[in-house]
Structure 1
Amino acid sequence: MILKFLFDRIVALIGLLFLWPLLIVVAVLVKIKMPDGSVIFTQKRVGKDGKLFTCHKFRSMAVKHNGSTVSVAGDARITPLGAILRHYKIDELPGLWDVMIGNMSFVGPRPDVPGYADKLEGDDRVVLKLRPGITGPATLKYRLEDEMISDYVAKKQKEGDTRPVQKIAEEYNDKVIYPDKVRINKYYYEHYSFIKDIQIIICTVLGKNMRYNNELI
């Protein structure tokens, strides 16, 4: 994966050099619209070989919230500006720095908070051999993850489920979405293709779907 390694660093540097005006504009907007906290959200995530690293994003949530790692569409923790940043993946742009310094890749599994990837067992642990990615096949498939979880919560509530929204959301993530992401990321590791990486990046930027392992993502 030497080509992938070189591609990540060169393109991340070029991206930072060309996108710095946008980064400044977004930073100013975050500071104006969400003055109660920092512009950049940092959090420890599980990286390659299970090692923790500091992940960087534009902040999209209110500073004071319940701390759950699973969010749903319309989540009260997400500010109006934050919702826009998340929808268009603009909140991910500071991740270019993480790619340039080698903590992340453009394509790979999403970086998990401790308690998920680091708890994988057996063959599933091959996912930890990959650097986390800004995008990836699982990210493409679940690009509307917040909306999917929200629909599941609404369905369960309609059926009479009285549990807190976050509990229902976490159940769906832990039992359905996350295991499927692991399946997809294992396939990505076992059938790596630089050409597919480029296709995934293009589809992410354009908001398009693609065929991957005989499914539409």
Structure 2
Amino acid sequence: MLKRLFDILFSISAILLFGWIVVFSLVVAAVATNSNGLFFQKRIGRYGVTFTIIKLRTLCTYTDGTISIPRVGLLLRKSKLDELPQLVNILVGHMSFVGPRPDIVGYYNSLQGEERLILQLKPGLTSEASLKYFDEEVLLQQQENPKEYNDTVIFPDKVKLNLHYYYNHSILGDIKIIYKTLLRYIQ
């Protein structure tokens, strides 16, 4: 109950404080991607129930089926500004500020035994795992087989970190993770 109250108060505060950045970034994303600027995708939420995550669109899809990432899209991804619309997901209760990042359908389906405890947590905007793999896209680009590396190294490590969070989460711990996240953006 305290965590939900924290999420509501801080998401409202963040929307009021950073709303202008979201609107500006939305306009930039819309122009750069020739779209409405928003990206909606089904993700796995608490108890394995899917929900629609909101992000800023960073990809251009052309009529011939090709996909590209404009420079502004790369900037939005690198700065994580594309994640700011998830403040709405937090406000409506699909997400929390801190918790395992919501994954696409498929990965969380493979969780076995104790690993499935992660699904009892509300997905978050940030976590220890997302901090550790802050530059995950860059790391994957450096691999000979990115999917295999993700499946055998990154995803299992994220599961371990998220299980650790499951057993040890607290409001004070969440505040520390938020603080570390803010420091990461400042660097």
Global fold match (TM > 0.5)? yes
Q: How far, CA to CA, are the matches of 1:126 and 1:38 in structure 2? A: 37
- Higher mean alpha-carbon deviation, 21-30 vs 103-112, is at 21-30
Structure that is richer in helix per residue: 2
**What secondary structure, in the 3-state scheme, does the structure 2 residue paired with 1:45 have?**
strand
**What secondary structure, in the 3-state scheme, does the structure 1 residue paired with 2:60 have?**
coil
Equivalent in the alignment of 1:33: 32
Q: How far, CA to CA, are the matches of 2:110 and 2:9 in structure 1? A: 32
Whether 1:191 aligns to 2:168 is yes
* TM-fit CA distance, 1:151: 1.8
1:41-60, CA deviations, whole angstroms, 9 ceiling, x for partnerless residues? 00000000000000000011
Q: Which amino acid aligns with 1:189?
A: Y
Matches within 5 A, 1:193-208: 193-207=170-184
Match of 2:133 among 137, 142, 145: 142
**What secondary structure, in the 3-state scheme, does the structure 1 residue paired with 2:59 have?**
coil
Matches within 5 A, 1:110-189: 110-153=101-144, 168-189=145-166
Q: Which amino acid aligns with 1:188?
A: Y
Contact 2:121 2:166 in 1 (8 A): yes
* TM-fit CA distance, 1:38: 2.8
Q: How far, CA to CA, are the matches of 1:145 and 1:48 in structure 2? A: 23
Equivalent in the alignment of 2:74: 83
Contact 2:43 2:103 in 1 (8 A): yes
The runs of 5 or more residues in structure 1 that have no matched partner are 68-75, 154-167, 209-217
Contact 2:30 2:57 in 1 (8 A): no
Contact 1:30 1:39 in 2 (8 A): yes
Q: Which amino acid aligns with 1:102?
A: G
* TM-fit CA distance, 1:183: 0.5
- Higher mean alpha-carbon deviation, 117-126 vs 95-104, is at 117-126
Equivalent in the alignment of 1:15: 14
Q: Which amino acid aligns with 2:49?
A: K
Equivalent in the alignment of 1:100: 91
Q: How far, CA to CA, are the matches of 1:118 and 1:10 in structure 2? A: 32
Contact 2:33 2:60 in 1 (8 A): yes
* TM-fit CA distance, 1:109: 0.7
* TM-fit CA distance, 1:64: 5.2
Q: How far, CA to CA, are the matches of 1:188 and 1:26 in structure 2? A: 32
* TM-fit CA distance, 1:147: 1.3
Q: How far, CA to CA, are the matches of 2:62 and 2:109 in structure 1? A: 27
Structure 2 length as normaliser, TM-score?
0.92
* TM-fit CA distance, 1:136: 0.3
Q: How far, CA to CA, are the matches of 2:130 and 2:74 in structure 1? A: 17
Contact 2:38 2:55 in 1 (8 A): yes
* TM-fit CA distance, 1:84: 0.7
Equivalent pairs: percent with the same residue?
A: 40
Contact 2:31 2:37 in 1 (8 A): no
**What secondary structure, in the 3-state scheme, does the structure 2 residue paired with 1:113 have?**
coil
Aligned residues: 183
